[in-house]
Amino acid sequence: MTDLFSRISPDKLLPERLNAAEAAQELVRLAQEMAHHDRRYYQEDAPEISDAEYDALRHRNEAIERLFPHLVREDSPSKKVGAAPAEKFAEVVHSVPMLSLNNAFTEAEVEDFFVRVRRFLGLAEDAEIEVLCEPKIDGLSFSARYARGKFVQGSTRGDGVTGEDITENLRHIIPARCHPERSEGSPAVGDLSAMPQDDRLEVRGEVYMSRGDFDALNRRQEAEGKKIFANPRNAAAGSLRQLDSTITAARQLHYFVYGWGQVSAPLADTQSGAMERLKTAEFRVNEEARLARNVQEVMAFYTNLYEHRAELPYDIDGVVYKVNRLDYQQRLGNVGRAPRWAIAHKFPAEQGQTIVEAIAVQVGRTGALTPVAHLKPITVGGVVVARATLHNKDEIARLDVRVGDTVTIQRAGDVIPQVVSVDVEKRPADSQPFVFPETCPACGSAAFREDDDVVIRCSGGLICPAQAREHLRHFVSRNAFDIEGLGEKQVELFWEKGLIKNPADIFTLEKRQETSADPICAWKGFGDKSVENLFAGINRRRVIALERFIFALGIRHIGEGTARLLAQHYGSFGAWRVAMMAMCHPERSEGSHAEGDPSPAAQDDNAAYTALLAINGIGEIAADALRGFFVEKHNLALLDALAEEIRIQDTERPRQDSALSGKTLVFTGTLTRMTRQEAKARAERLGAKVTGSVTGNTDYVILGEDAGSKRKKAEELGVKILTEDEWLELASS
């Protein structure tokens, strides 16, 4: 595959060329970019980048985290699945988390998967591992709960822990009962009616739309002047995530079941056996699935499916391999957001050529200026694409892409492709190099680049209309203030009407409406009840947790995880603000720098700055971002205005959930009751940290057979030593 990280400056392209500070900055950038694309894909069904580009972002994030494990944060994309449920749906908490899958792109990566499984299970290097190979459907994942054979609730994957309630929509697609009615005789083999009367069954699968149904839907949409869907996946997701279930019922949607969540009795001993049992219960399972015993058989299945996928009536973007034995799956467990016992082998991206008709520069919430190529529409892999992100100024220079150029684009299932290359021989004779703007196209403020950052940003801050609107959208977003009835469309409308220009305006809106000559209730699409509900939603958010408040401010480099660290450390808004002000405005002797402009030298002697950096998980990038926010007078005025309207709750200290929470462990020697990798995974699930060397900070050393020098080191340092049985007893307490 073409290198998808060419937009990064060449000297910083490889993760191993980054130093710790650069790695921390890159991880923050990746987390922010991936969170944006998760929301666009999972909540809005309107992706902006291709699967291949997103996978490349995730691979870079994971590669950096492997090199700098101390920089891994609680809110890392490597620990997340999907995106939080959209605010328009009720939430459903999954009985068992709906995990995502790690990806493989080459045969070598598939071989590594088999090697990892054998090593984790302690099997011989040449041991066969039977796997079930299934086509990877490009649709929307769902979970469906049945009680006593009757469908009772359906939900989307959401963020893996909490999904969206789509019960009424899913009724039109999946069976109302999970087994056929029988009037006489004993149940057929595999009939789920044979389960206990209090049986529970939760099946999981993928809803999709066939290519033929997709084409027919778009023809109807076009004839009626409605939205045209970009591809079958978006059409399926948009159809299933409707508030009006009659819309879902009117569209041709299909499904395959690929697994299960909570069950009251085991379905089988193997993945294939369980799928066969679900099939006899009248669920649709994919008939293309096959068993394989080694990499050679797996690759033969993959190659055959790739060559013949155009003959399938639905879109697939790869193959999923699952360890067939369920007892092996149980032992392998999960790591982060994904199971160890399964992997998705993705197909290569598709390519095509088209012409660049224009290059526009967009301004994001953090002021990032992002160039976008507007393309002459072209169909690639059955999807019409008309735009491609050019990422940044350096990427445009590297490609030397110009208006009028013929370019090769690459996509892997979504709307926005990557520009791979420029065909210079087809370049018009009068073409001119693209000149990246030196000022913000939204507000005219100077554009600048920070240190080694590849991104050019607007310096206007909240005075920039593009940034201000994005800040407001972020402020009311789900993980920030989460104000019901005040979504992106309402924010945009109130901005244009001049009613809301900054976050504090939200909480004074109701009072200002009392004397307004143009009340909202008189606007088209509004009424007394809707306005009443809007104000009620705003008033419900006048009390907010400190960590959500900090996150809502939209300070660059301060994500949810960092906001949580700050809230836990300082405890209250008052303490946090005092510390930040002390960092930005330290007392100085005569002749020192002007107040509000602390220099690096001054920071070295600044106790508040030093204390901030001492917080585990806070680095110089985040500290400097906080300083940059608090030195701006308009930001301080905003905090004052908000403090007049809302109450920010103090933060309780985190509780210890297990006997091992917060402890540091070292395993040494050969364990007999589980592999070392299994033991480490279990310890980490209980909140412990597992290291490879014994130090004065180690709490326990667990001895296996033939323990070596680490035992002696533990005895010298007085570290408590546990046998394997003692460790298991502690882990169970």
Judged by average pLDDT, the poorest of 163-172, 266-275, 294-303, 502-511 is 163-172
**Per the domain annotation, does 4 fall within a domain?**
no
Bigger pLDDT: 244 or 581? 581
175 and 239 fall within a common domain: yes
Residue 575 has pLDDT above 70, yes or no: yes
Domain containing residue 477: CATH number: 1.10.150.20
- Choose the final residue of a domain: 621, 649, 677: 649
Domain containing residue 202: CATH number: 3.30.470.30
Bigger pLDDT: 574 or 88? 574
534 and 569 fall within a common domain: no
- The Cα–Cα gap between 198 and 189 comes to 20
**Per the domain annotation, does 353 fall within a domain?**
yes
- Choose the final residue of a domain: 481, 511, 541: 541
Q: Give the containing element (helix H, strand E) for 323.
A: strand 316-323
**Per the domain annotation, does 659 fall within a domain?**
no
199 and 314 fall within a common domain: yes
CB 694 within 8 A of CB 710: yes
- The Cα–Cα gap between 547 and 535 comes to 24
CB 256 within 8 A of CB 288: no
Spell 377-397 as b/e; 16+ CB within 10 A means b.
ebebbebebbbbbbbbbbbbe
Work out the average pLDDT over 356-379: 87
Residue type, 134: E
**Per the domain annotation, does 237 fall within a domain?**
yes
Beta bridge partners of 36: none
- The Cα–Cα gap between 196 and 264 comes to 8
407 and 525 fall within a common domain: no
Kindly report, residue by residue over 220-279, the tens digit of the pLDDT: 877 777 777 877 888 888 888 777 778 888 888 999 999 998 887 788 999 999 999 999
**Per the domain annotation, does 654 fall within a domain?**
no
Query: Looking at the 3D structure of the chain, how many domains does it have?
Result: 5
Residue 538 has pLDDT above 90, yes or no: yes
CB 392 within 8 A of CB 364: no
**Per the domain annotation, does 503 fall within a domain?**
yes
Domain containing residue 375: CATH number: 2.40.50.140
pLDDT value of position 492: 86
Residue 184 has pLDDT above 70, yes or no: no
**Catalytic center residues:** 136
306 and 379 fall within a common domain: no
pLDDT value of position 1: 30
Work out the average pLDDT over 481-500: 88
pLDDT value of position 452: 66
pLDDT range class, residue 187, cuts 50, 70, 90: very low
Work out the average pLDDT over 134-157: 91
Beta bridge partners of 373: 359, 388
311 contacts: CB under 8 Å, gap ≥ 6: none
Burial class (CB in 10 A: 0-12, 13-18, 19+), 364: middle
Residue 397 has pLDDT above 80, yes or no: yes
Angle between helices 676-685 and 107-121 (to 10 degrees): 90
**Residue the block writes with tokens 């609730």:** 153
72 and 103 fall within a common domain: no
- The Cα–Cα gap between 578 and 573 comes to 9
- The Cα–Cα gap between 227 and 458 comes to 33
**Per the domain annotation, does 726 fall within a domain?**
yes
Work out the average pLDDT over 161-180: 84
Domain containing residue 714: CATH number: 3.40.50.10190
142 and 211 fall within a common domain: yes
472 and 517 fall within a common domain: yes
403 and 534 fall within a common domain: no
252: which DSSP letter?
-
Residue type, 647: R
312 and 332 fall within a common domain: yes
284 and 310 fall within a common domain: yes
- The Cα–Cα gap between 156 and 258 comes to 14
Q: What are phi and psi of 262, to 5 degrees?
A: -80, 135
Residue type, 680: K
What is the overall mean pLDDT for the chain? 82
Q: Look up the domain containing 496 and give its range.
A: 461-541
223 and 197 fall within a common domain: yes
Residue 125 has pLDDT above 60, yes or no: yes
Phi-psi region of 543 (alpha: psi -120 to 50; beta: other; left: phi over 0): beta
CB 289 within 8 A of CB 275: yes
Kindly report, residue by residue over 597-625, the tens digit of the pLDDT: 444 434 444 788 888 988 877 888 889 88
pLDDT range class, residue 188, cuts 50, 70, 90: very low
pLDDT value of position 595: 39
- Of 356, 344, 347, 345, which is closest to residue 420 (Cα–Cα)? 356
CB 132 within 8 A of CB 324: yes
- The Cα–Cα gap between 558 and 189 comes to 56
- Residue 715 burial (CB count, 10 A): 12
Tell if the pTM clears 0.75, that is, is over it. no
- Choose the final residue of a domain: 649, 674, 690: 649
pLDDT range class, residue 481, cuts 50, 70, 90: very high
**Per the domain annotation, does 625 fall within a domain?**
yes
- Of 435, 456, 438, which is closest to residue 446 (Cα–Cα)? 438
